[in-house]
Amino acid sequence: MSELDPHRPRPGGHPAAPVLHGGNATVMVTEMDRAVDFYVDTLGLVLAFRAGGDWAMIAAGEGLTIGLHSSAHGGPEPGTVGGISIGFSVSPPIEAAVETLEGRGVQFAPARGGGVISDQGFVKLAFFADPDGNPLYLAEMPTRRQGTGATKPLDNPG
According to the model, what pLDDT value does residue 112 have? 86
> Could you give the count of Cα atoms lying within 13 Å of 110 in the half-sphere of its Cβ?
3
pLDDT of residue 85: 87
- For the cut 50, the answer to whether the pLDDT of residue 153 exceeds it is no
Q: What is the pLDDT of residue 157?
A: 38
Burial class (CB in 10 A: 0-12, 13-18, 19+), 17: middle
Query: How far apart are alpha carbons 81 and 77 in whole angstroms?
Result: 8
21-30: average pLDDT: 88
The 3-state DSSP class for residue 127 equals strand
> What domains does the chain contain, in order, with CATH numbers?
30-144 (3.10.180.10)
114 — alpha (psi -120 to 50), left (phi > 0) or beta?
Answer: left
Asked if pLDDT for residue 154 goes beyond 60, the answer is: no
Question: 97-150: per-residue pLDDT in tens?
Answer: 999 899 888 999 999 888 999 998 888 999 999 877 888 899 998 764 444 333
- Residue 50: what pLDDT? 96
- Determine the Cα–Cα distance for residues 156 and 108; give it in Å rounded to an integer: 30
Q: What's the average model confidence in pLDDT over 51-58?
A: 94
Range from 49-63, 80-94, 111-125 carrying the lowest mean pLDDT = 80-94
- Is the pLDDT confidence value at 74 over 90? no
What would the mean pLDDT of 77-103 be, rounded to a whole number? Answer: 86
Task: Look over the chain and give the mean of its residue pLDDT values, rounded to a whole number.
Answer: 80
Looking at residue 42, the DSSP 8-state letter turns out to be: I
Q: With contact defined as beta carbons under 8 Å apart, do 67 and 87 qualify?
A: yes
pLDDT of residue 11: 59
How high is the pLDDT of residue 155?
Answer: 37
